[in-house]
Amino acid sequence: MIGALRSELTRLAQPRLLLTWFGLMALFAAMVNTIMVTFVSGGGSLPPGAPGVAFPTLAQMESPSGLMAGLAAASSMFGVITLSFWALATATDYSSGLIRLLVAAEPRRWRLLAAKVAALALVTAAATTVAAVVNVLVVMPAAGTAGISTAAWGTDLLNVVVSAWLHLYIAVCVWGVIGLVIATLARSAAVAISVGVGYLLVVESLVKMLKDVPSDWLLGTTLGAVASGGTSAVSFGAALTLALGYVTLGLVAAGLVYIRRDVTD
Amino acid sequence: MSIITTTRLTRRFGPITALDGLTLELPSAGVIGLVGPNGSGKSTLIRTLLGLIRPTEGSATVLGSPITSPADYAARVGVLIESPAFVAGLSAHANLVSLARLRGLPLARVDAVLAQVGLQGRDREPVKRFSLGMKQRLGIAAALLSDPELLILDEPTNGLDPAGIVEIRELLRELGRNGRTVIVSSHQLSEIEAVCDHLVVIRFGKLVFSGPMAEMLKRTREHIDIAPEHVADLDRLQAALTAGGWAVAAVDDVLRVTASISRSADLNRAAMAAGITLRRLELAQDNLEEIFLEMTGRTDGELASGRAATNGTVAA
């Protein structure tokens, strides 16, 4: 199992892949923090069901957790990026034909799948760290310029940073697993990314606009709540339980297909 | 001991029967050629033996273990299946390191196999810059990584230049001489004839021939190619020889007469008697390609199987 994990990590260690992944995480962290600070300081509020982002209030920004608020605000965006790279890493094995070589070398396919999930989770930890670092580097000068008080940001600093990182990490890993599941089923990164982005930007937004339909169970909402450490509508525990349910279901489906399906590509 | 056995091995893909009750025993050690027209079931057979696809019916063993437990023999088998597949953005070395780690092998094997296939010095370049021939060499290196008892190589000389083909041919011969079994699936029948000790021919998923190459080559027939001095005399010569009881077929501007060399003087005399001078009289022998075409038909296998499927008969 360790061998399969090290093998998978070796294949993921492609400079261009990692640079793009980490670069996008950094770019979105910088962009969202800049926009968020400008938006919050101007007293703006997002329309209900706005896709992909959930900005805090000015009071929340000026609280100790305001320092890391950008991570939760853009968790869906980070999620889609993670989904895309997990899908890409999975589907490329099929499109390149590498899956033949891998399964011939390690016929216990569950090991290959488990190693892929573990390796991608490790790289996702690094990508989340990049987003967290860029978040801190951008939000502090941006808040100062926008006139947002940062006096409380030093309070309980370690706890704020670690929990924000952990909440985002769990949320994006679930997004990643969704990408892996769709890519395994479809054997196509393009399909997985299209479904992921389409779901977040179109399906979930449309459902949220329907007033009579509860939306707390929706994937984006659930993972947004996980990334925020819980919201007024969904507690962290409930969101985490639901997210783990999504992961379990997805991994069981992907695992069955991955193990049982003929490798004919 | 047989290195591979199959018993009534069958695999269907919907209406297509890719393997049709194939029963086979392959000897251990030496180079074994696996040939058949397109769509004959070669790839399906290889994938089934490697556990990539499951048979619909029948059973098989590889290195004594059933194919239902491929993990029991995977470490002892090296494979190159169809076109070599690697991570394009990684170097040749990193790709092999990844496979060595997956198989739990010492990384020293990576440099050893790179040297064996002549890729040392180019191994730090990304695979995406490699030519097809270099990728093919890398594919063979990947197959050799675990120093396997059984090597299964699908079209190993695909994309190689003539010098590369000779080099890989020598490598295959050497591997087969060292107590290893090498199964080579190829359309290059001249290559198969040059390196293989044993031959397996399948068509429409069924076994057509399995035996030593020498036995197959015994089926060759001698013939004499002749050409008249003037091309205009070709039809007259053919008619005269046919009337004289010779078996003659026109091949372009040459007449192919099925006869042994001992009858070449008789043939010359028969032409002279017809008042025709020969400008060419040449002894020839069928090669593996001609025997193969005789056994499997002269139509592309996939087209033939498509027609067979349309007619509701066996397809490959």
φ, ψ for residue B124, nearest 5 deg: -95, 0
Residues B210 and B281 in one domain: no
B79-123: pLDDT as tens digits: 988 778 888 889 999 999 999 999 999 999 999 999 988 888 888
Rounded CA separation B244/B241 (Å):
5
CB B88 within 8 A of CB B127: yes
Q: B314 lies in a domain?
A: no
Q: Does B307 map to a domain?
A: no
Strand B181-185 with B30-35, pairing: parallel
Distance CA A208, CA A48 (A): 8
Number of domains composing chain B: 2
Higher pLDDT, B165 or A172: A172
Per-residue CA distances from A211 to A53, A207, A214, A239 (Å)? 19, 8, 8, 21
Last residue within a domain, chosen from B188, B217, B246: B217
Count of A-B CB contacts under 8 Å: 87
Asked whether residue B211 falls in the same domain as residue B132, the answer is yes
Q: Do B238 and B198 reside in the same domain of the chain? A: no
Please report the residues numbered 142 through 171 in chain B whose beta carbons come closer than 8 angstroms to any beta carbon of chain A.
142
Q: For the segment B136-170, what is each residue's pLDDT rounded down to a tens digit? A: 889 989 999 999 999 999 888 877 788 878 878 88
pTM summary value = 0.81
Instruction: Give me the half-sphere count of Cα atoms (radius 13 Å) on the Cβ side of residue A243.
Output: 29
Instruction: Tell me if B60 is assigned to some domain.
Output: yes
CA geometry: angle B1, B177, B104, nearest 5 deg: 75
* Contact check, Cβ <8 Å, A7/B98: yes
pLDDT of residue A248 exceeding 50, the answer is: yes
- Closest residue in chain A to residue B53, using alpha carbons only: A262
A4, A10, A107 member nearest B74 (Cβ): A107
Q: Is residue B297 part of a domain?
A: no
- B100 and B127 together in one domain: yes
Average pLDDT across chain B, whole number? 85
Residues B192 and B227 reside in one and the same domain: no
Q: What is the CATH number of the domain that holds B70?
A: 3.40.50.300
For chain B, the straight-line distance linking the first and the last C-alpha, in angstroms and rounded, comes to 30
Residues B207 and B239 in one domain: no
For residue range B5-60, list pLDDT tens digits in order.
999 999 998 888 889 999 999 888 789 999 888 888 888 999 999 999 999 999 99
Using CB atoms, which residue from A11, A100, A263 is nearest to B87? A11
**Can you tell me the ipTM of this complex?**
0.83
Cβ–Cβ under 8 Å, residues B161 and B143:
no
Task: Please check whether residues B246 and B211 belong to one and the same domain.
Answer: no
Tell me, what CATH number does B264's domain have? 3.30.70.790
Q: Which residues of A touch B95 (CB under 8 A)?
A: 11
Interface residue A232 vs chain B (CB under 8 A)? no
Residue of B71, B74, B98 lying closest to A11 (CB–CB): B98
B243 token code pair: 């009337």
Same domain for B213 and B234? no
Which of B189, B217, B245 terminates a domain? The answer is: B217
Interface of A with B in 28-57 (CB under 8 A): none
**Chain B interface mutation, best of A11, A21, A85, A113, highest count of B Cβ atoms under 10 Å:** A11
- DSSP-assigned beta bridge partners for residue B7: B59
Tell me which residue range forms the domain holding B259. Answer: 222-285
pLDDT band for position B311 (cuts 50, 70, 90): very low
A72 contacts A163 by C-beta, under 8 angstroms: no
Question: Is B17 inside a domain boundary?
Answer: yes
* B307 pLDDT tier (thresholds 50, 70, 90): very low
Interface mutation target, options B101, B124, B146, chain A, most CBs of A under 10 Å: B101
In eight-state DSSP terms, residue B91 is B
Last residue of a domain, one of B217, B237, B255: B217
**Judgement on whether residues B210 and B255 belong to the same structural domain of the protein:** no
Ramachandran assignment for A262, one of left (phi > 0), alpha (psi -120 to 50 degrees), beta (any other)? beta
| Residue B243 and residue B185 in one domain | no
Residues in chain B with CB shorter than 8 Å from the CB of A17 are 89
Indicate whether B193 and B58 sit together in one domain.
yes
Q: Is residue B313 part of a domain?
A: no
**One domain for residues B241 and B203:** no
B108-116 and B132-144 helices cross at what angle (nearest 10)? 130
In a domain, B118, yes or no: yes
Chain B touched by A261 (CB under 8 Å)? no
Interface residue B194 vs chain A (CB under 8 A): no
B47, B87, B103: residue with CB nearest A98: B87
Instruction: State the nearest Cα–Cα gap between A88 and chain B, in angstroms.
Output: 12
Domain membership flag for residue B244 = yes
